[in-house]
Amino acid sequence: ASRVEGVKEIGSIKLQWLGHRCFAEMCVAVSPLISVTEAHKITEDVRHELLHHVSALVDVTIHADPYTAGTADPFHALTAHHF
C-alpha cells in the first residue's frame, strides 16, 4: 500500500477473520492539497493492490486522512478523547 502513488503514510490497520476470509480497515495519509476525487482514486488504488496481494482478503475499507508531516493531528482532535 505504501508503494501506491499518493500515499504519504500508512496509519492504522485492522484485520478481522471470519473463517478463512479476511476483512480489513486501513487509514492512509494523502496530501491535504488534493481533491476528494483524487483521494478517492488513491484509496481505490490501495484497495486494488491489497486485493491482489492478500489472497484471503475479501473486502477492505480505506479511509484517507490529510498528511500532517509529524505534527499533532488537528483533524481528529474532536473525537480523540473517545479512543
pLDDT in tens, the chain (83 residues): 789 999 999 989 999 999 999 999 999 999 999 999 999 999 999 999 999 999 999 999 999 999 987 665 667 677 777 77
Region class of 72: left (phi > 0), else alpha (psi between -120 and 50), else beta: beta
Region class of 39: left (phi > 0), else alpha (psi between -120 and 50), else beta: alpha
Cell triple for 21: 476470509
Domains, the chain, with CATH or none = 9-82 (3.30.70.1350)
> What does the alpha-carbon distance between residue 51 and residue 49 come to, in Å, rounded to a whole number?
6
pLDDT recorded at residue 69: 79
Distances (CA, A) of 13 to 1, 16, 26, 27, 60: 11, 10, 4, 7, 10
